[in-house]
Amino acid sequence: MDLQLAGRVALVTGASKGIGLAVVRTLLEEGAKVVAASRKTSPELDALAGPNLSHVAVDLTDPAAPAQAVEHAVRTFGALDILVNNAGGPPPGVTLPRFGFLTPDDEDWARMFDFNLFAVVRAIRAALPHLLASDAAAIVNVSTGMAHVPAPMNVDYSAAKAALNNLTLALSEEYGPQGVRVNVVSPGAVRTAWWTEEGGAADVMAAAFGTDRDTVMDSAAPEMMKMVTGRLVEPQEVADTVVQLVSPRAASTTGAEFAVDGGFTKHI
């Protein structure tokens, strides 16, 4: 299927690894021009180098950074058609999971919302004038199934993503008539650095439950989250849904949420 993305200009945040890297790679394969925004590059991102890829080094916890990334995209490629707000999860320097409501303090809550909600607000605010000039504009916000499944773990993160889902629907209602589609993709547990890096979620959970990191990722976490596929989601599986949603082939899809979570989220 031709996704009609050749020549389109996309900005992807959190683009150096995991889901963001997979989105960048897939967009490039479809012929899009991509600005990859992240605090630093990575060998995997560098391997994609070419005339249709530009990296912008930004820290999205800086309130000025989202606008700088948008400006870089327009300056480099002359337009902006697609915004993928993928950056999120633990703010820089924070390790998740955190257990219990009383564990995060006011500063933790503020940092979590700043990274997972306010950075997205700032990016969309900066991008909208350019997206409104496009004939096929699309925004995809990457959320989480945890926004729908409250639990006494990562409660600040889940709340921030629930707010992001609400924002997505409000934006789709306001800007859909003006030609900007806004959708949300909600992964479950994805096999990314959040889980796999040393000291990451797999190690935290292994210590909490008296097992080892491989067992956590291969069986314990999927079982605890009741993922019916029995495994963590692969980043490419999320990226495929994101790229389909930003394609003009999805021209009548807006204000929708797509779960890519191995059956974690169960609700009507």
C-beta of residue 88 within 8 angstroms of C-beta of residue 158: no
Contacts for 160 with CB less than 8 Å, ≥ 6 apart: 112, 113, 115, 116, 117
Closest CA to 126 of 177, 66, 45: 66
Which two tokens mark 189?
């547990």
Residues belonging to the active site: 157, 161
The helix (H) or strand (E) run that includes residue 145 is none
CA distance 176 to 31: 25
Q: What is the CA radius of gyration of the chain?
A: 18
- φ/ψ of 260, rounded to 5, equals -125, 80
The arrangement of strands across the sheet holding 82-85 comes to 53-57, 33-38, 9-13, 82-85, 137-142, 180-187, 257-260
Q: 230 to each of 60, 145, 221, 263, 268, how far by Cα in Å?
A: 34, 16, 9, 9, 22
C-beta of residue 90 within 8 angstroms of C-beta of residue 104: no
